[in-house]
Amino acid sequence: GENVEQHPSTLSVQEGDSAVIKCTYSDSASNYFPWYKQELGKRPQLIIDIRSNVGEKKDQRIAVTLNKTAKHFSLHITETQPEDSAVYFCAASPLGSGGGADGLTFGKGTHLIIQP
Amino acid sequence: DGGITQSPKYLFRKEGQNVTLSCEQNLNHDAMYWYRQDPGQGLRLIYYSQIVNDFQKGDIAEGYSVSREKKESFPLTVTSAQKNPTAFYLCASSRSFWDTIYFGEGSWLTVV
């Protein structure tokens, strides 16, 4: 099955700086890569996703890049703000975006800390 | 994603007792899921249901059971056979098995 590795496990950046979180995946059939943000004790919320037919997608201060050859994808947050502090999860799926078995496999998460 | 309701938010259970976590959605989604979240472990799939009256085991189904008698409801029972049940449990749903999944607010289960 799919295996998703996420790095780093903790990332501390100064407010206003950029943050980059990286994920690698093992199944070359994966074609859907969402990113979820989870604040302490709350539900994960989808913040951006990308499909394998594009290499980059941007939404305001958030962008995701995908390198299918190298099997890695990254989340980029620019001009970080205190409200960006949370745990971020990447995921990969070979079946579209469904969450069932052989569907979404999650990374272990990155705790992003924005220092004032 | 505000249409997925989990209850209770916090639950304490004595060892040896079964407990049922509720998950209701009013999004008319066909597929529903249960995940378990432990610190540093990410999200692990317990059970999923593609459609009413059908469900399948996920990666860590041992010690858990589910039912899907109604489209909007997917309750999870944590049985006494689950050796380490203390965790944060997340219910999720998607329009179909192929669509983006959305999460409920979660339920904290503590075994005392």
Q: Any CB–CB contact under 8 A between B97 and chain A?
A: yes
A94: nearest CA partner in chain B: B98
Of B31, B40, B57, Cβ closest to residue A108? B40
Structure tokens at B31: 């597929």
Q: Do A96 and B98 touch (CB under 8 A)?
A: yes
Chain B contacts of A46, Cβ < 8 Å? 100, 102
Of A99, A101, A106, Cβ closest to residue B42? A106
Q: Do A97 and B56 touch (CB under 8 A)?
A: no
Structure tokens at A92: 């990969």
> pLDDT digit string (tens) for B32-44?
999 999 987 789 9
Q: List Cβ neighbours of B57 (8 Å cut-off, separation of 6 or more).
A: A101, B47
Of A9, A99, A107, Cβ closest to residue B92? A99
Contact indicator for B78, B19 with CB cutoff of 8 Å? yes
Is the Cα dihedral A51, A53, A55, A58 positive or negative?
negative
Q: How many CA atoms lie within 13 A of A109 on its CB side?
A: 20
Per-residue pLDDT band at A8 (split at 50, 70, 90): very high
pLDDT in tens, chain B (112 residues): 459 999 999 999 898 899 999 999 999 999 999 999 998 778 999 999 999 999 999 989 999 999 999 999 999 999 988 888 999 999 999 998 878 889 999 999 998 8
